[in-house]
Chains A and B, each alone.
Chain A
């Protein structure tokens, strides 16, 4: 991308008007760090949305509402009961990147290695999009295809509502990397709801070793109604091969990626179950 103009709208409606007027020439700019990955030289006008009051974290009843321009560092540092988003944010890139790159930037144009879509799919989050009025989209719908397509008409992601973990809910995420700040070889996130010793519901999602982040339905189906025990987790993780086209890269065969995913699913499930156990509120 080559920025030819840079504008700072004063309000959300003004930003949307700017984007609609600019059409294909307009480009939302949040932290601006992903523009580095878009190496073509298409001339664009940057519409800076970082001064519109969209940086916040609010506990609103059953949800944590996180503003779209909230830096990943703020999400990482936030602590509250039944909150689990900090773990994965600490694992994204470096301190300097986390200080500037935003939640919205990570999930509005999804790169295959993006970590937050995986977590938001498992957490059953809701994306709030402004198109003159605000509309909520469940994660399953939002991440069905590349979300960038949704924003071509000038709409803007304003916040993400992440459910606060309820009693007997647990969450676990695993990001496997070669070196601390590198992109994931595989990212797995799992949310379990327990009913006594058994699993009442499960959401398991994966990213990085597959073309696009997604849920793993066969893994989930192998968990529901069964005991939250290692043998069951192992058996469920073994279904991952059927759910996604695991890709090899940089000295990793597709089989190795799938195996890494299976091991990571097992770890994520163990973590989620430990988190959920004993949480009566």
Chain B
């Protein structure tokens, strides 16, 4: 039986990294203590979505995932999306649309939207709702967030941006 190495290695925002950890540590705790504080601790129980990160391009809750489950995976956090000086297209739309109030839910919302844009090629309302159904906002009432996202998605759709089309799972 392999001994527990008490380290975990994964690609974090494009860079291969190794971190000391222990088996009971959640990925969210590891990320935050390593300085990736854009990933938020909201409920800690898989309900609010503030801790959403991408694992192999799929949105997951970092508060429910043990850090060791990330071994060998590709993890992306909000820090990979945009910066204060160079916000992403969605971040710009959110700001311009006045869609951010306290802002706590926004990193998670953006990561779920990122998963949507990476996987899908068309963005009808049902599929958008499906990808965004695990992110709660206590401030905005969602409408402005939805409108900002819709603008980006409509532009992507008309520009014919290709995701990997994950919704058409081939029979394997």
Contacts and interface: CB of A to CB of B under 8 A. Distances in A.
User: How many interface residues does chain B have, given as a range?
Assistant: 20 to 34
A97 B43 CA distance: 14
B20 to A, nearest CB: 14
A77 interface: yes
Interface string A51-82: 00000111100000000000001100111100
A133 interface: no
Interface residues of A, number: 36
Contact of B23 (A6, A57, A78): A6
Given A7-B1, A57-B172, A80-B171, A96 B134 contact: yes
Given A3-B66, A4-B23, A95-B132, A79 B169 contact: yes
Contacts of B148: none
A135 interface: no
Q: Is the interface of B mostly helix, strand, loop or mixed?
A: loop
B59 A99 contact: yes
B83 to A, nearest CB: 25
B66 A77 contact: no
B167 interface: yes
With a 10 A CB-CB cut-off, give which of A78, A96, A180 has the most chain B CB atoms.
A96
B66 A6 contact: yes
Contacts of A224: none
Contacts of B172: 56-58
A118 B23 CA distance: 33
A94 B166 contact: no
21 contacts: A3-B66, A4-B23, A4-B24, A5-B4, A8-B2, A18-B1, A29-B66, A32-B64, A36-B46, A48-B68, A50-B69, A57-B169, A58-B172, A77-B166, A78-B169, A94-B134, A95-B131, A96-B52, A97-B64, A99-B55, A99-B60
